[in-house]
Amino acid sequence: MSEPVIVCDRLAVRLGGIQVLNGLTLSVFQGDFLGIVGPNGGGKTTLLRVILGLERPTEGSVRVFGGEPGSQPKRTGYVPQRLFFDRDFPLTVGGLVLMGRLSRRRFFLPYGEEDRQAVDEAIRTVGLQNLHDRQVGALSGGELQRALIARALAGEPELLLLDEPTASIDPAMKTGVYDLLDSLRGRMTIVMVSHDTGVITKHVTRIACLNCTLDMHEEGSSLKRAPIGDIYDYPVDAILHNHPQSGESEP
């Protein structure tokens, strides 16, 4: 195995007195495509925020690229779950994606040719080249999601973190997003939080089931064997049932 990109060691996070994550130990290696599934409130988004350095662990430790989370913005790309913004905000797709270059910007220097090339490349990768000058507020849900992925790609990250990239778009668009992620697979390490438990097993190399604590499943393993999963087409639940719910929220 190659270098671990993310190492969580007995990570615990409490937010507002609620135990969101508990005793979570996890390593993500270079080139991994890790899917994180689990119920709402299971701590998926919180885990991403900890990896990004937006939340601090209460106990345990997190190392990203061998350092503090958030200390290497150049190497990390992030696609938020949904973006609340003003539909009237005067910003084009090109301008939005250019923000992905912020982490690489040298202080006080204007964006250069290299930045523009990275932006064009990212926009082509997500297939929005015809919408380069479209106002962000005029995009459909799926287009916006692609634009946000392009913004993350424009920074040429080694680690891409996605928070439910398909949550707010229709099924046809979802396939497009997954095909896109498939094409990125191997080029960078990807960690994706998702609700599409049935679909993501086809795309990811490993799955983590997160409900305060964590279960890991390696490629092609256990999920297929879960009988209840076949019936409900919801394999994750089935796996979680194998372990009587541990790590209940502490008071």
Give backbone dihedrals phi and psi of 131, rounded to 5 degrees, phi first: -110, 20
Q: Using CB under 8 A as the criterion, which residues of the chain lie in contact with other proteins when the complex forms?
A: 52-54, 70, 73-74, 76, 78, 80, 83, 85-86, 88-92, 95-96, 99-100, 102-103, 105, 108, 111, 133, 135, 151, 155
Nearer to other proteins by C-beta: 76 or 211?
A: 76
Task: CB nearer to other proteins: give 49 or 206.
Answer: 49
Given the DSSP bridges, would you call strands 76-79 and 159-163 parallel, antiparallel or unpaired?
parallel
Minimum distance from residue 243 beta carbon to other proteins (Å): 33
Judged by DSSP in three states, 161 sits in strand
- CA quadruple 94, 100, 106, 108: dihedral positive or negative? positive
Q: Quick one: residue 48, left, alpha or beta (phi over 0 = left, psi -120 to 50 = alpha)?
A: alpha
Q: Tell the burial category of 3 from Cβ atoms under 10 Å away from its Cβ (0-12, 13-18, 19+).
A: exposed
Task: State the minimum distance, in angstroms, from the CB of residue 219 to other proteins.
Answer: 29
CB of 108 to other proteins, least distance (A): 6
Q: Nearer to other proteins by C-beta: 101 or 174?
A: 101
Select 7 or 99, whichever has its Cβ closest to other proteins. 99
Distance in Å, CB of 116 to other proteins, minimum = 14
